[in-house]
Amino acid sequence: MDAYQCKILFIEDNPFDFKLTSKLLMKNNGYYFIEWASTLLDGSLKLKSSCFDVLLLDLNLPDSKGITSLLKIRSIAPMIPVIVLTSQDDEETAVMALKSGAQDYLIKGKFDRSILERGIRYAIERQQAAVHIKTQNDFLLSILESLTHPFIVIDAKSREIKIANSAAQSENFKQGICCYTNDGCSSRPCVSRGDSCPVSTVINTKKPIMVKHHYLDDTGESKSNEIHAFPIFGSHGEVDKVTLYFLDISEQENSKREYQRLIKVVQQSSDSILIMDTDEIVQYVNPAFAQTTGYFPSDITGKPYSILRSQKHSDEFFTTIRSTLNRGISWQGVLISKKKDASLYEEEIVISPVKDENNTILNFVSTSRDITSKKRLESIAEAANLMTNIGYIFSGIRHEIGNPINSIKMALTVLNNNIDTYSIDMIKEFTERSLAEVLRVEFLLKALKNFSMYEHLDIKKISIDDCLKNFINLITDDFKKKNIVIQSHFPDHPVYAVADSRALHQVLLNLFTNAADALTHRESPVITLTLQKKIRLIKLEVSDNGCGMTAEERSDLFKPFYTSKTNGTGLGLVIVKKMLSKMNSTITIQSEKNNGTRVMIFIPEDTLENTPQKTAVDHR
């Protein structure tokens, strides 16, 4: 069979009509190949088993009548062009056949070979064009359906929605409804409530536009859309349709508002804020920074951060800071920095790395506060406090040393006046009494020596949990003899702090000694040592279930020579506070009469990340 033959299926129950039609087409030198089916069922089977270029159909068949025959065959082979050949010369049927998908409607006995061939050729060409258009439409619709944002096409006159992709339908844009129908659907992105209608604007201006639309969805959540509207022109240059494409920019708008809020916070912050890149080149400074240092953005942006360095810190000091930041850990401390006028100032500063989603460091952010005036005021307060303490010290020395000296003077005077008459035993009693008072003076002088022995501490990174465990091992036996139970609560993971372990031992020994004295004659005496990690601080707590203190007793705790003990010097807590101050640490005491005492110490944490989980140990 010729490769260029046109293959035709003729479904016709009358053999005579089949032969007549075949004879007409066979005059074209074998270009047409015709296959016959006498029933609709037979034709359906042939269509399923073979390929045909065109189908000639008689509407009235033994197993099907009228337009139903056409509808059935179209459902089986929708892509094959159909020409109706019928003896039914009825205009209404012809129109219905064409509407139902027939390419032509020919009356038997009223066409010749040329009309039939032209009908076949046109039917094939129209079907091919229809298939091509459908393919293009399907392709365009698939593109529209692939869009994740709503897309609609609106008729310019009726404002009826002609096309709406799935994303648009999910936003209640349905085909066939008017785009501005007031159907109570508040979740629709564009209902032109108070805003100018983008469709009207495009129709009037004949130009594409972009507008932003803000609205509340059904849940009351604020939403923002960017609406892109484009005109589609008709044959006479008028706007025939308008396409609308909706981009949900709610997240971007929220981020923009959040960014604007953050900018205001940074701009209005009283703390100096500086941003630099990983090469330590300054990228941004806020107004507070300019006010503190004298460097305005134009003065320092693009300059190295080292421009602020004074000569008060070594290169190794700054290398340590950079090493900490490179590990992705924030650094905090006190710096002496240099202003634009070369004057120095002291600042509390936190420098933090800024990372992306891949944990790569992008920038460093410095937040600092000028504490020069604060330090000056603290120095004044410390000097005033020192004068007060000196008063207490001299008063204490006069009382604590004056009493034993008076006792010695009196004893020696009596002894001197009666040395010829006193017996050896009496003389020995007076000398022993004088020696006891000397020993008392010696004890006080040793306490005063302890007050100044820790002027220079060796402050460094220590494993504070190991330090505390060593301390407990040293004192446990002595406290067992006093029937005092020592309990400890430490994290499972190592905790690091910046302190002097020797001074810390001295502090704890003093606190435990005080706690032991408070537990005298108490039932089930217990001292508890707790270690906790706070934000940038390590908290040590020493608590007991002892006799406690009144509010008046608590107010005098840190006064030199104040003591409620029979044999106390009143210098223990003063020495403790001094040593902790040297380690940038603080102490707080809470106590109630007959309800025990809690002593809390806060020590700077070393910048090594750990995640503590508490465990309890009972030292008996």
Q: What is the pLDDT of residue 170?
A: 81
Positive or negative torsion for Cα 412, 416, 422, 427: positive
Cα 367 from Cα 270, distance rounded (Å): 10
Give the closest residue to 596 by CA, choosing from 537, 525, 531: 525
Fold (CATH) for 375-453 = Helix Hairpins (1.10.287)
| CATH number belonging to the domain at 269-367, selected among 3.30.450.20, 3.10.20.30, 3.90.1150.10, 3.90.1010.10 | 3.30.450.20
Give the closest residue to 246 by CA, choosing from 230, 222, 225, 232: 225
How many other CB atoms are there within 10 angstroms of residue 182's CB atom? 9
178 DSSP β-pair partners: 160
Q: What is the pLDDT of residue 190?
A: 55
* Domain parsing of the chain, residue ranges: 6-143, 149-254, 269-367, 375-453, 460-619
CATH number of the domain at 149-254, please? 3.30.450.20
Q: Got the DSSP string for 162-193? A: EEE-HHHHHTT--TTSBTT---S-TTSS---S
3-state secondary structure of 482: coil
Spans in the chain with pLDDT lower than 70: 1-4, 28-29, 179-195, 375-400, 443-456, 560-571, 607-620
Q: What is the pLDDT of residue 256?
A: 84
Question: What amino acid is encoded at 604 in this protein?
Answer: P
Structure tokens given for 589 = 């005491």
Cα 282 from Cα 274, distance rounded (Å): 7
- The torsion of the CA quartet 351, 354, 355, 356, rounded to 10 degrees, works out to 180
CB 618 within 8 A of CB 610: no
Cβ burial, residue 16 (10 Å; 0-12/13-18/19+): exposed
Q: What is the pLDDT of residue 610?
A: 37
Q: What is the pLDDT of residue 614?
A: 37
- The torsion of the CA quartet 357, 358, 362, 363, rounded to 10 degrees, works out to 60
Q: What is the pLDDT of residue 612?
A: 35
CB 174 within 8 A of CB 161: yes
Q: What is the pLDDT of residue 615?
A: 37
- What Rg, from alpha-carbon coordinates, does the chain have? 50
Give the closest residue to 543 by CA, choosing from 471, 503, 485, 500: 485
Cα 439 from Cα 445, distance rounded (Å): 10
3-state secondary structure of 15: helix
| CATH number belonging to the domain at 6-143, selected among 3.40.50.150, 3.40.1160.10, 3.40.50.2300, 3.40.190.10 | 3.40.50.2300
Cα 309 from Cα 370, distance rounded (Å): 15
Cα 148 from Cα 430, distance rounded (Å): 105
Within 454-569, where are the H helices? 464-481, 501-518, 551-555
CB 222 within 8 A of CB 214: yes
Domains 269-367 and 460-619 fall in the same CATH topology: no
Question: What amino acid is encoded at 48 in this protein?
Answer: K
Cα 356 from Cα 328, distance rounded (Å): 11
Cα 12 from Cα 24, distance rounded (Å): 16
In this structure, what are the phi and psi dihedrals at residue 446, rounded to the nearest 5 degrees? -65, -40
CATH architecture label of 460-619: 2-Layer Sandwich (3.30)
